Amino acid sequence: MAPADTLKRTPLHDRHVAAGAKLVPFAGWEMPVQYAGIREEHLAVRERAGVFDVSHMGEIETTGPDAERFLQRILSNDVTKIAEDGAQYSVLCKEDGGVLDDLFSYRLGPDRFLTVTNAANHEKDLAWFRRHAGGFDVTLHDRLHDYAMLAVQGPEARGIVAELAGGELPRRFRTARLTVAGVPDVLVCGTGYTGEDGVELILAGEGAGKVWDAVSAAGAVPTGLGARDTLRLEVCFHLYGNDLMESRGPIEAGLGWCCKEDTNFIGSEAVRAAREAGPKEKLAPFVLTGPGIARQGNPVEGGGEVTSGTLSPSMNVGIGMAYLPPEKAEPGTAIEIDVRGKARPAEVRSKPLYSKET
């Protein structure tokens, strides 16, 4: 763990301190894990709106005549399908199919893309991009310290941001450059990590405080990384380092839908082989049917391992995801998880674990 005086800070650090946030080291950054409390913040996002500081996420800008062709080679999805001002999810694979990161890429022009990386993986991803850029007419720009990033999520999120932008926002998986709360040139993206509607705002760091203040004043509740984790797990979104890793591939993780092997991306042959043979294990969501909370690393009796686990604030039960043998990964299958030496009964469920309809 890095000493506090070596941790990076986002442009919103003073806002977090003023709000009484509990600050913790995370991927080399000093980040707010909670303000009022994880449960309160979680439910605010589900019921109204929350605002997250996600400025620790990295950005790599790719420009040049071969920008699309280069990204097609290293990203698992079909980059040619990203519409103008569109967004696309993909994974970054090693030659053996292991996952280096999961990413969102935004097309900002015919020959210009912005790819958002996970905070802990940014330097590794940037090095991978640079390593494979040879032979392509592209320029790579590290934008980590050029941008701040806010996520405004929840059923009221779009209304809050639209009011501050004075107009209609881009629909899901599209982007637009708008003036928000008087701050110009904000990239408003119809993406998020909570299972709720909303937008992510990418902007120059000097404007972040003004937008944060305006969004908060309009009713979005400041929300920390703790609730970000419980929200994403309820809807079975992957967390790199827990559910995704270099030792497992996207087919095992249930991400075959964002892998287009015919594009010949790096690792595509290994991914194709895993798809055709069938994975030896599958990532599956579960709900505990009795008391207890499973945590990362807890073994599943008879084979398998928990990758993520928490108490669901929306469902008020222990939930999680685990890599399981294929025969155990079917919804409705009863499993037992060893939680600190005690067998806890659970049941495999379908994705998402939580939805407003249930």
Instruction: Give the helix ranges, DSSP H, for 113-170.
Output: 122-131, 157-165
Q: Give me the CATH number covering residue 234.
A: 3.30.1360.120
Q: Categorise residue 230: left if φ over 0, alpha if ψ from -120 to 50, beta otherwise.
A: alpha
**Residue after which a domain boundary falls, among 255, 279, 303:** 279
**Which two tokens mark 5?**
């005086």
What pairs with residue 75 in β-bridges? Answer: 92
Residue 45: is its pLDDT beyond 60? yes
Please check whether residues 124 and 155 belong to one and the same domain.
Answer: yes
Biggest CA–CA distance in the chain, Å, is: 58
Please check whether residues 201 and 81 belong to one and the same domain.
Answer: yes
Please check whether residues 132 and 80 belong to one and the same domain.
Answer: yes
Q: For residue 288, how far is the Cα from the chain centroid?
A: 24
- Provide the pLDDT for residue 358: 54
Return all residues near 329 (Cβ < 8 A) that are at least 6 apart.
281, 282, 283, 284, 348
Please check whether residues 189 and 206 belong to one and the same domain.
Answer: yes
Please check whether residues 48 and 127 belong to one and the same domain.
Answer: yes
**Angle at CA 57, nearest 5°, toward 117 and 220?**
130
Please check whether residues 325 and 189 belong to one and the same domain.
Answer: no
Instruction: State pLDDT tens for residues 211-268.
Output: 999 999 999 999 999 999 999 999 999 999 999 999 999 999 999 999 999 999 999 9
**Pairing outcome for strands 221-222 and 50-53:** parallel
**Residue after which a domain boundary falls, among 248, 279, 310:** 279
- Provide the pLDDT for residue 145: 95
If pLDDT is split at 50, 70 and 90, which confidence band does 356 have? confident
- Provide the pLDDT for residue 69: 98
pTM value is: 0.96
> Which residue range(s) make up the domain with 341?
281-358
Q: What is the mean pLDDT of residues 144-149?
A: 97
Give the sheet arrangement for strand 139-142, strand by strand: 87-93, 99-109, 112-117, 58-63, 139-142
If pLDDT is split at 50, 70 and 90, which confidence band does 161 have? very high
Q: Give me the CATH number covering residue 357.
A: 2.40.30.110
| Residue closest to 186 by CA, chosen among 167, 166, 207 | 207
- Provide the pLDDT for residue 68: 98
**Angle at CA 99, nearest 5°, toward 96 and 103?**
140
**Residue after which a domain boundary falls, among 228, 260, 279:** 279
What pairs with residue 286 in β-bridges? Answer: 320, 348
